[in-house]
Amino acid sequence: MKKSMTILLVLVLGTLTACGKQAGAAAVDVDLPAFYMELEEKYQWGEDYMVDVEGELLENYYPGISDIPAVQFVAKAPMMSAVVNELVFMQCETEEDAEAAAAILQTRVDTQAEGGAWYPESMEAWGKGQVIQHGTYVAMIASASYQQEMADDFNALFA
């Protein structure tokens, strides 16, 4: 009898814990384009500094990312700049898709840090780049000037 009650208690607690996780995950609703616009305003980039990374360039930078179903997607980089400042914010349909996107984005960070960025200062900045995942949301932040501040701002969206 004791053993049956213990098993029943474990099952009930497990069910309640799982329900709690789903409710918490569903409660987070972040508007990624609005978040990017806040960054643009905060750092005073101006509307012509950062451009969308799309089409062939998107596939060159992040091979396979466009195959992942996205609820929201923002990819920005400076049109012309020697300063590292590349951002991707993505909400995927599932956490598994978010993990796949994070792996693709991490490959971009690693490749640039290991010589793809060519210049020592750029490779150093990319070496500090971060890929951050919160459930179905993923960010890649590589910024020579505002790396940690932007990572903190992104993480604050989920606090």
Cβ contacts of 45 within 8 Å, gap of 6 or more: 39
What is the Cα–Cα distance from 31 to 93, expressed in whole angstroms?
15
Min mean pLDDT across 15-19, 105-109, 134-138 is at 15-19
Give φ, ψ of 39 to 5 degrees.
-65, -45
What is the Cα–Cα distance from 51 to 49, expressed in whole angstroms?
7
Burial of residue 123 (CB within 10 Å: 0-12, 13-18, 19+) is middle
For 91, other C-beta atoms within 10 Å of its C-beta total 22
pTM, entire model: 0.83
pLDDT of residue 27: 59
What is the Cα–Cα distance from 46 to 121, expressed in whole angstroms?
24
Q: What is the pLDDT of residues 6-65, one digit of tens each?
A: 333 333 334 333 443 333 344 589 999 999 999 999 999 987 899 999 999 999 999 999
Q: Are 140 and 130 in contact (CB under 8 A)?
A: yes
Confidence band (pLDDT; 50, 70, 90) for 80? confident
The string of DSSP letters for 41-89 reads HHTT--TTTEEE--HHHHHHHSTTGGGS-EEEEEEEEESS-SS-EEEEE
What is the Cα–Cα distance from 6 to 9, expressed in whole angstroms?
5
- Type of residue numbered 22: Q
- Segments making up each domain of the chain, as ranges: 1-28, 31-156
pLDDT of residue 47: 78
